[in-house]
Amino acid sequence: MRGEIWKKVFKNYGVIIFFVILVIILSLLSNKFLNIANVLNIIRQSSIIGLVAIGSTLTIISGNFDLSVGSVAGLTGVIAISLTNRFGVVSGVIIALLVGIVVGFINGFLVTKARINSFIVTLGMMTIVRGCALLWTNGYIVAGKIESYKLIGRGMIGPIPIPIIILVVFVAIFWFFMQKTRTGRYIYAVGGNKETAYLSGISVSRYQTMCYVIGGFLAAIAGIVLTSRMNAATPNDGTGYEFDAITGTIIGGTSLAGGEGNVLKSILGVILLNVINNGFNILNVNPYIQYVFRGFIILASVAIYSVRFRKE
Amino acid sequence: MIKKILICLLVTIFIVSLGVISSGCRVVTTDEAVASQTTAAAETTKAAETTAAATVKDNNATGLKQFNIVFVIAGVDAPFCAPYMKGYQDAAKAYGQKLEIKDGKWDANVVNNLIEDAVAAKVDAIAVNPIDSVAVVPAVEEAIKAKVPIMGSWVRIGAKNELYPGTFAYVGIDEWQRGFAAGNLMLKALPDGGGIVLIEGTPGMQAVNDRRDGFLAAIKSNPKIEVLGQQATKSWGREEATKIMENFIQANGDKIKGLYAQDDNMAIGGLLALEEAGMKDVKAVGIGGSKEGIKAILDGKMYGTVYDQPYEAGVLAFTSILNYLLGVKFPDEIIIKNPLVTIENASLFPGEW
């Protein structure tokens, strides 16, 4: 009985427990760590990967993978900034978002209609989209020329940076979407058991495609926030974001098998990764040791869930 | 039926997006081409280039023999690579030569495989831009054994700072000297000393170690300069550099008087964090002389940088190959100069990437 309770606690609050422990350790090691400026700093640093991670969480819940999101963020960032330079912010942002949606749709189509494994489809798409970014820029940096574009990534509303607000808004929307709407529950059902969902009359392909479209859309937003903050786009922007996002998602307790997970916890997972980076930077830990430590922490936090799985 | 509609839709989207992409690509190309060709500051290298070009032309007034030349480049997606490849391509085009550029994908093993492929294809000459000077040696040895001429480009072949025996030329830079030059800039920026922070490129890359060691060797002469922090980005990324700088500021605050970033892209990233923290007096030093870096120097935001000339380096490397193949005498070691840029002379440097 007591075992049961612990299992439940770990299952529901694993990432939170880990988070609290880490914060306590870091605040004991340095008095520079726990203060409002640094907290805002860490959350802003998490906002770009956080946006990507919302999408990753949805696709993984629906039973698929999306490895193309990092490249999508790169391409859409490049598109947004070059079109903004020429035609203004509105058209730049809208077309970038459309491109994200279209790539997501193609992913969804190939996975659900052509029935190609999602890992393969998005791996291929990752390379294609990266190639498009290289073609578009010809390999050069595209620097921003429009002042107002910088606001998205650098602006503040009161004391809160705009990227944090964007993140909070989308987390709220998609948390509500997944937990409280019928469509959201269907997505869980599709990822949990495809056959059952299909037999209950749920259109598996529709909901899985929807997740890819949302993933592409959010990757595009991440790309826009990124290039706006940097006021420049390089064709290799966003490289590796898919893995950071998926790592955060897994640390947040989303099951790779699908049907299980929570947007809010994924964001906590992403923030956890940034807390680690921030803490190591503040303590000025040797960069080589950081790699080892980061790996250990990822393994340790995921181990909590694996123990849970074995018991079940 | 739905399937058919979907397929039609997909095809249209693909075509439209291809159109958009190619049109975007064309515009950028012309812009960049003009910009990179108007480089003014490269007197030394330009002079060498023209002499090299002149010798080639004198020998072959009526059309050159066409050679098959392979250039194995470390990677193609870093901002610096584009002007470098363009230098090669423009030179190849000017002399009507066949040039194939192979992408090493930032993987030392891929670079070696590409060299081996070129050796197997019995091309006329190979230029290699290694990721790691030592790791590339086995493949270079294979080329030498098979009597396929091979040269080092930008990064040296072999652990020693000299022409690798058996290779016909080296056209490139001395990373350690560049780090040392950046260190000298920092000495000039902070005569009274103070705390500095270092932002580095991908851990384990040779360029990263050389740029760090050279820099640290230079700043040793002023013991009042203290290194407060030293952190590495995963992929020379600007956003990562911003994050690291934000964290440095959290940890050290006003004690930071100087920033050394191992390239201008990261320096610009660091400057954003400094700007947002209201620390405009911090002296930032970079390497590369990117367009944005030069602009930041002119705007008074950045102290200085060590100028890169990848386009000239590409042109020079290609002319060296041609000179070798045509049997023209030429210097087998060309070290590209790296002028120091500060606000005093920044207007002379357009930046190549």
CATH of the domain at A238: 1.10.3470
Gap between the Cα atoms of B240 and B248, Å rounded: 12
Crossing angle of helices B291-298 and B264-276, rounded to 10°: 40
Q: Look at residue B249 and tell me whether its pLDDT is greater than 50.
A: yes
Residue type, B73: I
Residues of A in contact with B246 (CB under 8 A): 41, 45
A3 contact partners, CB below 8 Å, separation of at least 6: A311
Chain B residue with Cα closest to A43: B243
Q: Does B166 share its domain with B200?
A: no
* Within-domain flag for A95: yes
* Within-domain flag for A116: yes
| Percentage of residues of chain B with pLDDT beyond 90 | 42
Q: Look at residue B31 and tell me whether its pLDDT is greater than 70.
A: no
Q: Does B46 share its domain with B169?
A: yes
CB contact under 8 A, A240 and B29: no
Residue B188's pLDDT band (cuts 50, 70, 90) = very high
* Within-domain flag for A27: no
CB contact under 8 A, B232 and A287: yes
pLDDT of residue B25: 35
Average pLDDT value over all residues in chain B: 82
Residue B85's pLDDT band (cuts 50, 70, 90) = very high
**Which portions of chain A are predicted below pLDDT 70?**
1-3, 10-11, 305-312
* Within-domain flag for B123: yes
Q: Look at residue B18 and tell me whether its pLDDT is greater than 80.
A: no
What is the number of structural domains in chain A? 1
CB contact under 8 A, B25 and A140: no
B13 has a chain A CB within 8 A of its CB: yes
Residues of A in contact with B3 (CB under 8 A): 113
Q: Does B195 share its domain with B317?
A: no
B89 contact partners, CB below 8 Å, separation of at least 6: B99, B101, B314
Task: Using CB atoms, pick whichever of A33, A138, A281 lies closest to residue B248.
Answer: A281
* Within-domain flag for A202: yes
Model confidence pLDDT, tens digit, residues B47-67: 444 444 544 444 444 477 889
Q: Residue B53: which domain range?
A: 42-173+310-337
What CATH code is carried by the domain that includes residue B128? 3.40.50.2300
Closest CA to B341 of B351, B332, B327: B351
pLDDT of residue B183: 94
Q: Which B positions 317-336 lie with beta carbon below 8 A of chain A?
A: none
* Within-domain flag for A258: yes
Cβ–Cβ < 8 Å for B42, B309:
yes
pLDDT of residue A306: 66
Q: Choose, out of B247, B255, B294, B301, the residue to mutate when testing the contact with A (most A CBs < 10 Å).
A: B247
Q: Does B229 share its domain with B197?
A: yes
Chain A residue with Cα closest to B240: A45
Q: Residue A305: which domain range?
A: 14-22+41-311
Q: Does B240 share its domain with B325?
A: no
Model confidence pLDDT, tens digit, residues B126-169: 999 998 888 898 889 889 999 999 999 998 898 888 889 889 99
pLDDT mean over B71-92? 89
pLDDT of residue B248: 93
Nearest-CA distance B221 → chain A (Å): 24
pLDDT of residue B101: 92
* Within-domain flag for A7: no
Q: Does B136 share its domain with B248?
A: no
What is the number of structural domains in chain B? 2
Q: Does B71 share its domain with B134?
A: yes
CB contact under 8 A, B292 and A141: yes
pLDDT of residue A282: 87
Domain boundary among B266, B291, B307: B307
pLDDT mean over B237-253? 91
Q: Choose, out of B22, B80, B240, B243, the residue to mutate when testing the contact with A (most A CBs < 10 Å).
A: B243
Q: Does B296 share its domain with B188?
A: yes
* Within-domain flag for A8: no
pLDDT mean over B286-302? 91
Q: Does B148 share its domain with B191?
A: no
Q: Look at residue B21 and tell me whether its pLDDT is greater than 50.
A: no
* Within-domain flag for B135: yes
Cβ–Cβ < 8 Å for B168, B324:
yes
- Name the token pair of B306: 């060590």
CB contact under 8 A, A288 and B203: yes
* Within-domain flag for B28: no
B203 has a chain A CB within 8 A of its CB: yes
Give whichever of A61-65, B286-290, B344-348 has the largest mean pLDDT: A61-65
Task: Using CB atoms, pick whichever of A41, A154, A240 lies closest to residue B246.
Answer: A41
* Within-domain flag for B346: no
Q: Does B65 share its domain with B163?
A: yes
| Percentage of residues of chain B with pLDDT beyond 70 | 82
Q: Does B153 share its domain with B208?
A: no
pLDDT of residue B13: 56
* Within-domain flag for B67: yes
pLDDT mean over B229-256? 90
Residues of A in contact with B1 (CB under 8 A): none
B269 has a chain A CB within 8 A of its CB: yes
Q: Does B247 share its domain with B319?
A: no
Give whichever of A261-265, B42-46, B201-205 has the largest mean pLDDT: A261-265
* Within-domain flag for B129: yes
Phi/psi of residue B71, nearest 5 degrees: -115, 115
Residue B267's pLDDT band (cuts 50, 70, 90) = very high
